[in-house]
Amino acid sequence: MSLYRFFEFVPASLAWVTLIIVVVASRYAPTAAAIFIILFDTYWLLKTIYLSLHLRYSFMKMRRYLKIDWRQRLEELSGVGDWRNIYHLVILPMYQEPYSVVKESFDSLRQMNYPRDKFIVVLSAEERGGDEAKKVLERIEEEFGQDFFKFMTTVHPADLPDEIPGKGSHETWAAKVAKRLIIDPAAIDYEKILVSVFDVDTQVPPNYFGRLTHAFLTAEHPQHSSYQPIPLFHNNIYEAPVFARIVALSATFWHMMQQARPERLRTFSSHSMPFKALVEIGFWQKDIVSEDSRIFWQCYLHYNGDWRVVPLFYPVSMDANVAPTFWGTMANVYRQQRRWGWGIENIPYILRGFVNNYAIPLGRKLYWAFHEVEGFHSWATNALIIFALGWLPIFLGGEIFNETILSFSLPKITRIIMTLAMVGIASSAILGLILLPPKPDWFKRRHYFLYLFQWLLIPISLIVFGAFPALEAQTRLMLGGRFRLGFWFTPKERSKNQK
Tens of pLDDT, residue by residue over 335-371, are 999 999 999 999 999 999 999 999 999 999 999 999 9
The pLDDT tens digits of the residues spanning 194-234 come to 999 999 999 999 999 999 999 999 999 999 999 999 999 99
Report DSSP state, residue 301.
Answer: H
Asked if the model's pLDDT at residue 1 lies above 80, the reply is no
Q: For residue 11, which amino acid is it?
A: P
> What does 267-284 look like in DSSP terms, one character per residue?
--SSEEEEHHHHHHHTSS
Angle between helices 242-259 and 326-341 (to 10 degrees): 30
Report DSSP state, residue 490.
Answer: P
The pLDDT tens digits of the residues spanning 101-115 come to 999 999 999 999 999
226 touches 310 (CB < 8 A): yes
Q: Cα Rg for the chain, rounded, in angstroms? A: 24
d(CA 69, CA 207): 7
Domain count, the chain: 1
Which CATH number belongs to the domain containing residue 379 in this structure? 3.90.550.10
d(CA 436, CA 442): 14
Q: Quote the domain boundaries for residue 477.
A: 1-499
Nearest to 380, CA basis, from 269, 466, 478, 486: 466
% helix, strand, coil for the chain, step of 5 = 65, 10, 25
pLDDT of residue 495: 56
SS3 244: helix
pLDDT of residue 494: 61
Nearest to 93, CA basis, from 189, 167, 13: 167
For residue 193, report the phi and psi dihedrals to the nearest 5 degrees. Answer: -120, 130
Q: Based on the number of CB atoms within 10 Å of its own CB, is 295 exposed (0-12), middle (13-18) or buried (19 or more)?
A: buried
The pLDDT tens digits of the residues spanning 427-477 come to 778 888 888 888 888 988 888 888 888 888 888 999 999 999 999 999 999
pTM: 0.92
- DSSP tally for the chain: helices H, then strands E: 19, 7
Asked if the model's pLDDT at residue 334 lies above 80, the reply is yes
For residue 271, report the phi and psi dihedrals to the nearest 5 degrees. Answer: -160, 180
d(CA 455, CA 423): 11
17 touches 474 (CB < 8 A): no
Pairing between β-strand 87-94 and β-strand 193-197 as defined by DSSP bridges: parallel
d(CA 344, CA 8): 9
Nearest to 499, CA basis, from 303, 242, 145, 233: 242
> What does 321-384 look like in DSSP terms, one character per residue?
P--SSHHHHHHHHHHHHHHHHGGGGHHHHHHHHHHH-SSS-HHHHHHHHHHHHHHHHHHHHHHI
d(CA 48, CA 373): 19
Nearest to 209, CA basis, from 332, 330, 303, 69: 69
The pLDDT tens digits of the residues spanning 294-328 come to 999 999 999 999 999 999 999 999 999 898 899 99
Say how many residues make up the chain: 499
